[in-house]
Amino acid sequence: MSRMGDVLAGFHAAWEFESDSVLIRYERGIRTPKLFQALGERRVPLGAIAGVTLAPGKRGTVVLRVELREGADPLLEAAAGQLKEGCDPYRLVLPAEKETLAEYYADELRAGLDGGGPVDGYLVAAPEAPRQFKAYDAKASFDGRTVSFRWFWTGASSAKWKAGDQSFPVTELSGVQWRSPEVFEGHLRLMLRDGATAPTQPDQDPAAVVFGLGYGPVHESLPFAAAVLAAVRKSGPAAVVPAAGPRRDPADIAERIRHLGELHQAGLVTDEEFSSKKAELLAEL
């Protein structure tokens, strides 16, 4: 790019344009998405960018966005398309009066791109270890080499208690499955290299932790998943399992709908949430 060190400041973030990369620094503040605050900053090499868009936003804004190449970022790979638009770390929302300036930088970025195909290795750094977070049934921790689950007696299933606290060296893992806590049955599941068949339900799988209201929030569990995924990739070929799980037994679906109905009757789930989550479960039949 021709103008090194230029900074374009928007809502929640500022982008600094350098000769070979874009450095994204996220603001700290009560209105800034917690995921952005947890990330702090992201350096995106031009080689990681597949394309650049500039489009009208909401309420007098424009949105500059970089689209990353497939496989370039462990965070996006772990997220598997589940991030809400407002938590997309590669969107810069700007006042409409900055549209001309944003268009200039968009053109400058496009001029520096050399292709948009998939890449074999991560080009954007993963969130650094150590990391930890509280799931509904365990405390999950990762020191850069080993993932550990320490079960909570208030949330862990009897199957997990029977298995005991778990430790998984990254050399024994083949991938990570992250399902957002903002959808029904959010969880983080570790996939084992030995190919052992895991229980269908994550609450029965000692290699998984389940999320809940206030447990496993996106800004804690997603960077955790990305850090583990990057470490697994360094140790050998890794695989991210799609967020959607396998089709389930109809009896299991019926039991979960019954439980959802109990939450609805207790006022813990709204009418809209009940209808939406019930439809999700029925779709898995």
- Give 169-213 as a 3 state SS string: EHHHEEEEEEECCCCCCCEEEEEECCCCCCCCCHHHCCCEEECEC
207: number of CA atoms within 13 Å, CB side? 21
pTM (2 decimals)?
0.81
Among 272, 280, 188, smallest CA distance to 226 is for 188
Residues of the chain with pLDDT under 70: 1-4, 197, 237-256, 258-259, 262-264, 266, 268-269, 280-281, 283-285
pLDDT of residue 246: 47
CA distance 247 to 186: 16
